[in-house]
Amino acid sequence: LQVVETGGGLIQPGGSLRLSCAASGFSISGKYMAWVRQAPGKGLDWVSFFYSGGRTYYADSVKGRFTISRVNSKNTLFLQMNSLRVEDTAVYYCARVETSRPSVFWFDLWGQGTLVTVSS
């Protein structure tokens, strides 16, 4: 039971990058999934949430620049990041979401993260 992120790297400001999160041991089609990031030396910062029925949610700081998606046949979650800024530099974690009732969500499985560095 795990999720593994790939796709991080060094990118110039204004550039684009796509992160992938490959899940194993469970099917992402039956789960909500999310991306959470952590800037160097800082706390956890929620990025995006893939909800049931294809609904998606984004932090204000990334709305309009980042897009979360998934391909169920590949059991993989993606994060397309465009117009990257220096302040987007962080380790990006993929996380499985669990819920017990509406409006109650937590992250019960995390990957090891992939580092995105935005710098000229």
Partner 1 sequence: SYVLTQPPSVSVAPGQTARIICGGDNIGSNSVHWYQQKPGQAPVLVVYDDRDRPSGIPERFSGSNSGNTATLTIRTVEAGDEADYYCQVWDGSGDHVVFGGGTKLTVL
Q: Which residues bind partner 1 (CB under 8 A)?
A: 34, 36, 43-46, 49, 57, 59-60, 93, 98, 100, 103-108, 110-113
DSSP 40-54: TTS-EEEEEEE-GGG
Residues 6 or more apart whose Cβ sits within 8 Å of residue 44: 36, 37, 38
- Toward partner 1, which CB reaches closer, 36 or 77? 36
Euclidean distance between CA atoms 23 and 30, whole angstroms: 12
- Toward partner 1, which CB reaches closer, 39 or 71? 39
In angstroms, give the least distance from the CB of 34 to partner 1: 7
- Toward partner 1, which CB reaches closer, 34 or 84? 34
Residues 6 or more apart whose Cβ sits within 8 Å of residue 60: none
In angstroms, give the least distance from the CB of 13 to partner 1: 25
Nearest to 46 by CA among 31, 61, 29: 61
- Toward partner 1, which CB reaches closer, 35 or 78? 35
Classify residue 41 as left (phi > 0), alpha (psi -120 to 50) or beta. left
In angstroms, give the least distance from the CB of 120 to partner 1: 27
In angstroms, give the least distance from the CB of 33 to partner 1: 12
